[in-house]
Amino acid sequence: MKLVITGNPGVGKHTSAKIIAGKIGAEVIDINRVAIDDNAIAKKTERGLEVDVKKLDGLLANLLKTRNDQIVVGHLAPYVLKPAAGISMVAVLRRSPYELEKTLEKRGYRAEKIKENLASEILGVSLYDSLKIFGRRKVVEFDTTGKTPDQTANEIMRALRKKPKPAGIDWLALVSERGDMQRFFEY
């Protein structure tokens, strides 16, 4: 089993991956850790680190050959993994922008970075990119809003056994209904 867990920062990817790995004895491959440890950083900018996508793709492809039970975790998954890597499922974790904002603030993210990540979450960029790369049959969306990491991990494990119906999370409609478009987007 090769599970990919992706989504925006602050949605619970790493915590869920660790819980699942502990329950099934899988190895966790942290994409960010691989990029840093194996020198797949292209450059450092004021916005953060930019990875060498080709190098990271090669490193991950080699790691995915080493074991059967693996969980690959990171927001970069759709950009650095090949769909033919024997991936069983791609779990895209989503969180309400209202809750996500608090999480990112607690982590000390700069206001600009928070706004960027919230816009990405509202628009479903991680989901869209995952669907584009891995296809509808492999991608499952999970709403982590108000859930404990254990609850999210259990939902992902259930989905691995039985393909769930699409979640259809629409934060854009929620934000629009609440009249908060200008809060999250400059237009």
Phi, psi of 104 (to 5 degrees): -70, -35
C-alpha span between 187 and 65 (Å, rounded): 46
- pLDDT above 80: residue 163: no
> Is residue 39 scored above 80 in pLDDT?
no
Q: Identify whether the C-beta of residue 155 lies closer than 8 Å to the C-beta of residue 142.
A: yes
**Among the listed residues 67, 127, 92, the one whose alpha carbon sits nearest the alpha carbon of residue 6:** 92
pLDDT value of residue 165? 67
DSSP letter string over 137-167? TTEEEEE-TT--HHHHHHHHHHHHHSPPPP-
pLDDT of 65 reads 86
pLDDT at 43 over 70: no
What is the reported pLDDT for 168? 85
Q: Take residue 112 and report the two structure tokens written for it.
A: 């600009």
Give which of 70, 17, 75, 81 is closest to 49, Cα–Cα: 75
Residue 40 in 3-state DSSP? coil
- The pLDDT value recorded for residue 61 is 86
Q: Which domain holds residue 77?
A: 2-184
Which pair of tokens denotes residue 174? 């929620």
Q: What's the average model confidence in pLDDT over 21-50?
A: 83
Q: How many domains does the chain have?
A: 1
Average pLDDT over residues 121-125: 95
Highest-confidence segment of 6-10, 62-66, 110-114, 159-163: 6-10
Residue 82: predicted pLDDT: 80
What totals of helices (H) and strands (E) does the chain contain, helices first? 10, 7
Of these ranges, 20-24, 58-62, 163-167, 181-185, the one predicted with the greatest mean pLDDT is 20-24
What is the pLDDT at residue 54?
85
Residue 95 phi/psi, 5-degree rounding, is -145, 140
Q: Report d(CA 25, CA 23) in Å as an integer.
A: 6
Other Cβ atoms within 10 Å of 50 Cβ, number = 12
Segment 106-124 mean pLDDT = 94
The pTM (predicted TM-score) of the whole model is 0.91
CATH of the domain at 168: 3.40.50.300
